[in-house]
Structure 1
Amino acid sequence: MSLINKMLQDLDARGTPDGRGDAGGIRSVPEREHGLPRALVFGGAAGLTAVAIALGWVYLKRPSVPPMLVNVASLAAPAPAPAPAPVVAVVPTPVTVPEPVAPVAVPEPAPVKDRPEELRRITAKPAKSAVAPLIKVAVPAAISEKIIEGKQVTPQQRVENEYRRALGYLQDGRVAEAMAGLQHTLQLDPRHQGARETLIRLLLEAQRPDDAVRQLQLSLGLDPKQPAQAMMLARLQLDKNASAALDTLMRSLPYAADNGEYRAFLAGVLQRQQRYHDAAEQYELALQGAPDNSVWWMGLGIALQADNHPDQARQAYERAKGLQTLSPQLQAFVERKLVQLTAPTTR
C-alpha cells in the first residue's frame, strides 16, 4: 500500500509544475495506521502488571525450604536388570504303562519249635567283652613332691615345707628324723639360716662339736656377714686352736663394727694370744657403746696392766668396782688387782 502511495505522489509531482497535488483530481490515499488500538494496549499492559504483582506476592509469601544436599556416592546404582532366563522347551516323555506282575507266593515262616538252633542264637545273652587290665603307671617322686593337692609348688615352698616337716619331727621328739629333715632342707637351700642354726644346736646338744664346726664353716663360707655364727664358731675353735678362732673373728669383724659383744669377745681372744695392746683397743671400742659394763672395764684393766700401763689399769679396775654389778668372785678379783697396783705407791 505504501508503494502505491509513493507512485501516486510521484505522478502528482510530475503533473503540476508547482508541485501541488490537486491537479487532475488525483490525490494520494493517506496511509492507514497499523497495530492494535491504544486502549487495548494499555489494558493488556495493566493486566500483565497485575499478574506480575500477584506472582511476586505469592513467591515472597511461600515458606523457605532449605536446600538439601544429596550424596551422590551414597545413592546406590540401579541394579542391572536380570537377564531373561532361557526358555527350555519341554519335550513330552511318553508314559509307559508297566506290565502286570504275577503275584509272588511268600512262604510262611516255619514254627519256632522246628528251629531250635536259631532260637538259641537269638535268645542267648551276648558274651561279655573282655576288659583290658588296668596298667598302673608309677608317678615319679619329683612330680609328686612338686604337686600337692593339685597345686603347683615352687622351689621355695618346697624348702619351707621340708623345714616345717623337720620342726614337726622335733616337736614330736623324733630328733634323728628332724636332723635328717634339716639336712635335706639345707641341700635344697644352703642359705636357709633357720635350718642351719637349728641343726647346729641339735648337733651341740648331741655332743657332736666337730659336725657343728663343719656346719658353721659352710655357713660362713657362703655368707661371712653373720657375726653371731662367727662368735659361735670361734668359741668352738678356741679350746683346740686359738689362732683359728682369731682368724674367724677377724674375717667377720668388718660386719660387726657396732657390735660391742663381738669386740669384747675379740679382745678376750687377743689377750689369750698375748696381744694386750690390741685387746685394750677393742675393749675401749666396746665400752663406747656400753659404758656401764663392769666386766668389760675389768677386762680393760687386765689388758692395760699387762701392757705396762698401771695407772690406766687402776682407773679401769676402780670403774669396774664402782659399778657394783660384778659377781662376788670377780669383785674379789678386782679388789686384789687394786691392792697390787696401789701397794708400791703407798711406800
Structure 2
Amino acid sequence: MLRLATELAAPIPRAKRAPGKQSDAKVSQASQVAREAKATTSPASPVAKPAPPAQKTHAALAVAPEAARIDKRVDVTPRESAESGFRRAMSLVNQGRMAEGMDELKAALAADSGYELARQTLVALLLEAKRTSEAAGLLQEGLAINPANIAYAMLLARIHVERGDPHGALALLQKSEASAHGNAEYHAFVAAIYQRLGRHSEAVERYQRALRLSAGVGAWWVGLGISQEALSRPQDATESFHRARGTGSLSPELIAYVERRLKQLR
C-alpha cells in the first residue's frame, strides 16, 4: 500500500513520442487510459481515499505501548501487599526508624487485617514504646478476627492485670478455654490470676495441670507451693518448694524466697 501510494503521488513520466501514426495512436490510447484513471479516483467516486501512510504509522505506534502496559499489569493479592509492607517495616525498624516502621505495619494490616505476623510485631513495638492502649486495641481486633488465638488473649489479659483488673483478665482467658487445652503457659497464667484473687484451690488445680504438661518450670512449682501453703497444706508446699529448687531454673530472687519458705515450714 505504501509503495502504491508513492507511485500514485509521483508524476507520471512522459512517453517519448515516436514518429508515425502508431505512436500517435499509442499516445491517444494512453491519454484515454489516464482520463479513465482520473475519473475513477475523482471526488465523485465511491471509493474512499486511503489514509496518509504517516498517520497510520503514528496511530500504530501510539497504541502499541498502551497495549504492552496492559499486558504486563499483574494483580497483587492483599496478602502479598501485606507481606511486602511487612518487609519494608522490618527494614525500617532495623535501621532504628521505629515510627516509619510502625506506619508500614499499620498499612500492612490495612491491606490484610488477618496477617498475624504484622499484628504481633506491631503489638510488641507498641508495648515496648509504652503505648499500651493502642496495643490493646490491636489485640482486641485480632481476637475478633481469630478468637482461638491464645497468644492474643494472654497478652490482652496481661494488660488487664497490669491495669489492676484481674477479674477482667480471668473473664477474657476463660473465653479461650476451649482452644487452650494443651497450653501449659495458659494454665499457669490462669493459676496465677486465681492466686491473686485468693482462689487458691482453683490455683492449685491449674498449676498442677500446667506442670503435668511442663514439669521443668521452677516458677510454677513455687506458685503451687504458695497456694498449697495458703490452704494449710505444709507438707505439699514443702515438696513443691523442693521441686522448684531442683529444676535449676529459678532466678536468684526466687531461690532466696524458696529458702525462706522452707525454713518457715520446718
TM range (shorter): 0.5 to 0.7
CA pair 151-272 structure 1, distance change in 2 beyond 3 A: same
Asked if residue 337 in structure 1 is aligned to residue 261 in structure 2, the reply is: yes
1:173 matches 2:96: yes
Report the counterpart of residue 24 of structure 1 in structure 2: none
- SS for the counterpart of 2:135 is helix
| Amino acid of the structure 2 residue aligned with 1:257 | H
**Residue aligning to 1:275:** 199
Which residue matches 2:32? none
Taking the aligned partners of 1:262 and 1:183, their CA distance within structure 2 comes to 28
Runs of 4+ in 1 over 4 A off after TM superposition: none
CA distance in 2, matches of 1:328, 1:159: 44
TM superposition shift of 1:148: 11
Contact 2:238 2:262 (8 Å CA) reproduced:
yes
Please state how far the C-alpha of 1:223 moved relative to its aligned partner.
0.9
- Partner Cα separation in structure 2 for residue 326 and residue 163 of structure 1: 37
CA distance 1:148–1:300, change in 2 (3 Å): farther
Q: Which amino acid aligns with 1:206?
A: A
**Aligned residue pair count:** 196
| 2:30 paired residue number | none
**Is the counterpart of residue 317 in structure 1 residue 241 in structure 2?**
yes
Partner Cα separation in structure 1 for residue 71 and residue 150 of structure 2? 38
Matched, 1:226 2:149: yes
Q: Work out which of the residue numbers 239, 244, 250 in structure 1 matches 2:174.
A: 250
1:326 and 2:250 equivalent? yes
Aligned to 1:298: 222
Which residue, 153, 162, 169 being the options, matches 2:85?
Answer: 162
Matched ranges for 1:148-227 at <5 A: 150-227=73-150
- Is the 8 Å Cα contact of residues 92 and 101 (structure 2) preserved in structure 1? yes
- Aligned-pair CA distance for 1:282: 0.7
**Cα-to-partner distance string for 1:66-104 (whole Å, 9 max, x where unaligned):** xxxxxxxxxxxxxxxxxxxxxxxxxxxxxxxxxxxxxxx
Residue 45 of structure 1 corresponds to none
State the distance in 2 between where 1:150 and 1:313 align: 69
Return the offset for 1:335: 2.2
Alpha carbons of 1:185 and 1:326: their partners in 2 closer, same or farther (altered >3 Å)? closer
Q: Are the structure 2 counterparts of residues 329 and 181 from structure 1 closer, same or farther at C-alpha, using a change threshold of 3 Å?
A: closer
Q: Are the counterparts in 1 of residues 127 and 135 from structure 2 also a CA contact under 8 Å?
A: yes
Structure 1 CA distance for aligned equivalents of residues 218 and 150 of structure 2: 23
1:118-173 CA distance string (max 9 Å, x none): xxxxxxxxxxxxxxxxxxxxxxxxxxxxx896323233333333333333333443
Evaluate the alpha carbon distance shift between residue 304 and residue 173 of structure 1 in structure 2; reply closer, same or farther with a 3 A threshold: same
Match of 2:256, SS? helix
Distance 1:166 1:321, change over 3 A: closer
Are residue 235 (structure 1) and residue 235 (structure 2) matched?
no
Q: Give me the TM-score of the superposition, normalised by structure 1.
A: 0.52
State TM-score, norm by structure 2. Answer: 0.67
Looking at structure 2, the residues matched to 186 and 339 of structure 1 have their Cα atoms a distance apart, in angstroms, of 54
Alpha-carbon distance in structure 2 between the residues aligned to 1:243 and 1:252: 15
In 2, the alpha carbon distance for the partners of 1:339 and 1:304 equals 16
Which protein has greater RCO, CA pairs closer than 8 Å, 6+ apart? 2
User: CA RMSD of the aligned region, Å?
Assistant: 2.2
Deviation at 1:300, TM superposition (A): 0.7
The residue identity in structure 1 corresponding to 2:203 is: A
Unaligned runs of 5+ in 2: 1-69
CA contact (8 A) 2:79 2:115 kept: no
Q: Partners in 2 of 1:261 and 1:291 — Cα distance? A: 12
Question: What are the ranges of 5 or more consecutive residues in structure 1 without an aligned counterpart?
Answer: 1-146, 343-347
1:253-295 alpha-carbon deviations (Å, 9 max, x no partner)? 2212111122112111111111111110011011112223322
Hey, what's the Cα distance between the residues in 2 that align with 1:148 and 1:339?
80
Amino-acid identity (%):
40
Letter in 2 for 1:268: A
* Partners of 1:262 and 1:165 in 2: CA distance: 33
Structure 1 pair 160–335 and aligned structure 2 pair: CA distance change class (3 A): closer
Helix, strand or coil for the counterpart of 1:152? coil
Aligned to 1:100: none
